[in-house]
Structure 1
Amino acid sequence: MQQPSVSIVVPVYNEVPNQHDDSFRVRIQGLLALLRPCDELVLVDGGSIDFSWPTIKALASHPQVSAIQSEKGRARQMNAGAAKAHGDVLLFLHADTVLKIEAWQEFIQKLGANGNAAFWGRFDVRISGESKWLPMVAWFMNQRSRLSKIGTGDQGLFLGRDLFERVGGFPEQPLMEDIELCKRLKRIAPRQFVPIRKPLVTSGRRWDVHGAWKTIVLMWRFRYQYWRGVSAQELARQYADTREKRSLTVAVFAKYPQAGRVKTRLEPLLGADQCAEFARYLLLSTLDKLHGVNVVLWTDGGTDAEWDALLEGSQFSGPVQRHIQPTGHLGLRMECAVQTHLKESRVVVLLGPDAVQFSKTDLQQLERAAQTHSMAFVPALDGGYVALACTRCVPAVFSETIRWGTASVAEQTKAALHMQCISAQWFQAQMDIDEPDDLKAAIQHGFVPEDWATHYS
Structure 2
Amino acid sequence: MGFKFSVIIPTLNEEYFLTRNLEQIISLRRNLEIIVTDGGSTDNTLEIAKKFNCKIVESKAGRGTQLNAGAAVASGDILIFLHADTFLPYDAFELIEKTFSDTQVKIARFKLGFDFTSKWLEFYKRFTKYNSQFTRFGDSAIIVRKDFFKELGGFSDRETFEDVDFFSRAVKLSDIFLIDDFVVSSARRFILDGEIKRQLLNILLFTAYLLNFNQNFLSKMYSPPKKKRNNSLIIFLRYPENGNVKTRLAKTTSSDFATSFYKTCAEKIVNEVKKIKSINRFAFYSNKEEKTKVEKWLGSKLFFSPQEGKSLGERMQNAFAKVLSTGAKKVVIVGTDVPDLSAEIIREAFKKLDDSDIVIGPSKDGGYYLIGMKKMYPELFSGIKFSTNTVFSETIGQIRTLGLSYYTLPELQDIDTEEDLIRWLNGSNENSIKNEIKLAYETI
* Band of TM-score, shorter chain: 0.5 to 0.7
Identify the residue that residue 155 of structure 2 maps to in structure 1.
123
Which has the higher Rg, Structure 1 or Structure 2?
1
SS of 1:303's equivalent?
helix
Hey, what's the Cα distance between the residues in 2 that align with 1:99 and 1:362?
A: 43
Unaligned runs of 5+ in 2: 37-42, 57-69, 87-137, 177-184, 209-214
Q: 1:344 to 1:330 in 2, by over 3 A?
A: same
Please tell me whether residue 310 in structure 1 is matched to residue 293 in structure 2. no
1:126, 1:199 within 8 Å by CA — same for their partners in 2? Answer: no
1:123, 1:199 within 8 Å by CA — same for their partners in 2? Answer: no
2:252, 2:418 within 8 Å by CA — same for their partners in 1? Answer: yes
Deviation of residue 9 (structure 1)? Answer: 3.3
Identify the residue that residue 75 of structure 1 maps to in structure 2.
46
Identify the residue that residue 306 of structure 2 maps to in structure 1.
324
Q: 1:246 to 1:103 in 2, by over 3 A?
A: farther
Hey, what's the Cα distance between the residues in 1 that align with 2:410 and 2:400?
A: 19
Hey, what's the Cα distance between the residues in 2 that align with 1:101 and 1:91?
A: 4
Hey, what's the Cα distance between the residues in 1 that align with 2:272 and 2:388?
A: 27
Deviation of residue 303 (structure 1)? Answer: 2.9
2:275, 2:343 within 8 Å by CA — same for their partners in 1? Answer: no
Q: 1:424 to 1:273 in 2, by over 3 A?
A: same
Hey, what's the Cα distance between the residues in 1 that align with 2:244 and 2:186?
A: 41
SS of 1:398's equivalent?
helix
SS of 1:124's equivalent?
coil
Aligned AA (1:368): K
- Deviation digits for residues 208-230 of structure 1 (CA, Å, limit 9, x no counterpart): 948779x968978xxxxxxxxxx
1:103, 1:199 within 8 Å by CA — same for their partners in 2? Answer: no
Identify the residue that residue 60 of structure 2 maps to in structure 1.
none
Greater displacement, 262-271 / 96-105: 96-105
Q: 1:55 to 1:395 in 2, by over 3 A?
A: same
- The two structures have a TM-score, normalised by structure 1, of 0.57
Counterpart among 296, 301, 307 of residue 282 in structure 2: 296
Please give the residue correspondences for 1:232-247 in structure 2 after superposition, counting only pairs within 5 Å. 245-247=228-230
Unaligned runs of 5+ in 1: 16-43, 111-120, 128-136, 143-153, 157-194, 221-238, 313-317
Identify the residue that residue 237 of structure 2 maps to in structure 1.
254
- Deviation digits for residues 74-123 of structure 1 (CA, Å, limit 9, x no counterpart): 4345553228x99636876424434556786531547xxxxxxxxxx851
Identify the residue that residue 265 of structure 2 maps to in structure 1.
282
Identify the residue that residue 149 of structure 2 maps to in structure 1.
107
SS of 1:394's equivalent?
coil
Please tell me whether residue 60 in structure 1 is matched to residue 29 in structure 2. yes
Hey, what's the Cα distance between the residues in 1 that align with 2:303 and 2:342?
A: 21
- Deviation digits for residues 141-191 of structure 1 (CA, Å, limit 9, x no counterpart): x7xxxxxxxxxxx899xxxxxxxxxxxxxxxxxxxxxxxxxxxxxxxxxxx
Please give the residue correspondences for 1:437-456 in structure 2 after superposition, counting only pairs within 5 Å. 437-445=419-427, 446-447=430-431, 448-452=433-437
Question: Percent identity, aligned pairs only?
Answer: 21
SS of 2:242's equivalent?
coil
Q: 1:335 to 1:205 in 2, by over 3 A?
A: closer
Aligned AA (1:8): V
Please tell me whether residue 366 in structure 1 is matched to residue 349 in structure 2. yes
Q: How many residues align?
A: 319
Identify the residue that residue 408 of structure 1 maps to in structure 2.
390
- Give me the CA root mean square deviation: 4.7
Aligned AA (1:305): T
Hey, what's the Cα distance between the residues in 1 that align with 2:439 and 2:35?
A: 52
Counterpart among 77, 80, 83 of residue 94 in structure 1: 83
SS of 2:352's equivalent?
helix
Hey, what's the Cα distance between the residues in 1 that align with 2:167 and 2:290?
A: 45
Counterpart among 350, 358, 380 of residue 333 in structure 2: 350
Deviation of residue 366 (structure 1)? Answer: 0.8
Hey, what's the Cα distance between the residues in 1 that align with 2:312 and 2:373?
A: 17
1:299, 1:325 within 8 Å by CA — same for their partners in 2? Answer: yes
Please give the residue correspondences for 1:72-221 in structure 2 after superposition, counting only pairs within 5 Å. 73-79=44-50, 80-82=53-55, 88=75, 93-95=82-84, 96=86, 97=138, 98=140, 100=142, 106-109=148-151, 123-124=155-156, 137-138=160-161, 198=169, 209=193
